[in-house]
Amino acid sequence: MTKKFFGTDGIRGPTNQHPMTAEIAMKVGQAAGRHFVRGEHRHRVVIGKDTRLSGYMMENALVAGFTSVGMDVVQVGPMPTPAVALLARSMRADLGVMISASHNPYQDNGIKLFGPDGFKLSDEDELKIEGYLSEDARLAQAEDIGRAKRFEDARGRYIHAIKMSLPDHIRLDGLKIVIDCANGAAYQVAPSALWELGAELITLGVTPDGKNINYKCGSTDVATLQETVVASGAHIGIALDGDADRLIIVDEKGRVVDGDQLMALIGSSWNRNGLLRGGGIVATVMSNLGLERFLKSQELTLIRSKVGDRYVLEEMKKGGFNVGGEQSGHMIMLDHGTTGDGTIAALQVLRELVDSGKPASEILHLFEPVPQLLKNVRYAGGMPLDNDKVKSVITEAEKELNGNGRLVIRASGTEPLIRVMAEGDNSDQIHQITERICNVVEEVAD
């Protein structure tokens, strides 16, 4: 059975357009509440959000949905996605909800759901909730309607939790750090945690106005961060996205460090310190071949999953791994959380910076990436990847690579895009192949 509402990371889309309407949000609350109301205890859901304007509307609709089926609601306001996962588990809630469209512009929004264990829901759970969306809600009796209240200590709890991810001896005194919070969910908690650990801070993207989330800032646009790091003589730059579950780093020379290099650093560092489990790390099919070769040189393995941090997590659980992530900057460290956490990942990088005494440019470029090109082709509808012309050009490209590279062509789970990625040792060949495939996809997508 194919899901109609849930993508690779919850439900997402332009607000006030199906499915991101207040009406659907209320129904999601009712359906998810129905699925998680089990037993006779008072049921509780924790709801957080990022800073986009539509968060108020979606939050109120979800509160109405959950309370109408008998669930109490705890509202924590603007908080990172991993904070909602943590609070859902630590507060013994039956469900956690994050209202966010992550790195998307403010016009979009989304709903991410977490179970009582703090992990994102399984495909099975999401399908069950979708089934309830088409049925009449099971409304609570008047005396059983849920209550809603705001929880004022959420920020303090999360700041304490992320600081505890570092050993006691690690302090950030003497480090000048530029942090860009994308005018998003972490605009208060991430700078507070770094400051409390002793860092000298320069902050960017910490003045949200409802419409500037991810706009020319954060992990998807690091130009200002690069300029600020170099101009200020900072030791490192940290960029989070709108809901702070992903991380991109800029070294002291202004060079961008992606998730693959971060996984190489964290994986090898944890391995040296006897912390790494599973004999390697988990990444997606999009991670660079250079990462795989580096890990092999360290006698570590790389397990690849489908794109999406939930699939990374599935492979981590299956193989007993405690480090995994995506090239885009999602970092999952199961010793410290149940989902991607950009701030905790940044602290692991800063720990290595402190312990090594070396500059960021030296510790953060552990391998030479294989030439890799990723292009997106937007389409209006249909299934371009099922077209015979597209299948044919992909087959020809695979023959041309002849085992000396990789192709990953897939439909995005969050946007109407076909993502075309090619990598190999011959840069010219990779560019030609990518262009050829994109041209054919564009042709059939018109």
pLDDT at 88 (0 to 100): 96
pLDDT at 8: 77
pLDDT for position 1: 59
CA distance 367 to 265: 10
Query: What is the predicted pLDDT for the residue at 252?
Result: 98
Q: Is residue 116 within 8 Å of 88, Cβ to Cβ?
A: yes
pLDDT at 259 (0 to 100)? 97
Spatial CB neighbours of 178, under 8 Å, sequence gap ≥ 6: 201, 202, 203, 204, 225, 228, 229, 232, 234, 236, 237, 238, 250
- Token digits of residue 382: 């249909």
Model pLDDT, residue 416 = 85
Set 54, 102, 219, 268: catalytic member: 102
The topology (CATH level 3) of 372-445 is TATA-Binding Protein (3.30.310)
Burial label, 306 (beta-carbon count in 10 A; 0-12, 13-18, 19+): middle
Report the 10 Å Cβ neighbour count for 419.
17
Common-topology check for domains 11-152 and 372-445: no
What is the architecture of the domain spanning 158-363? 3-Layer(aba) Sandwich (3.40)
Catalytic annotation on 287?
no
CB 58 within 8 A of CB 24: no
Q: Mean pLDDT in runs of 10 for the chain (446 residues)?
A: 81 96 97 89 95 98 98 98 97 97 97 96 93 94 96 95 95 98 98 98 98 97 98 98 97 98 98 97 94 96 92 96 96 96 98 97 96 90 87 93 88 84 92 94 83
Find out whether the peptide bond into 19 is cis, omega within 30 degrees of 0: yes
* Domain boundaries, given as residue ranges, for the chain: 11-152, 158-363, 372-445
CATH topology classification for 11-152 = Alpha-D-Glucose-1,6-Bisphosphate; Chain A, domain 3 (3.40.120)
Q: What span, in angstroms and rounded, lies between the C-alpha atoms of 303 and 324?
A: 9
Q: What is the pLDDT of residue 150?
A: 96
3-state secondary structure of 129: helix
pLDDT at 29: 98
Structure-block tokens of residue 242: 């709108």
Which one-letter DSSP state was computed for residue 254?
A: S
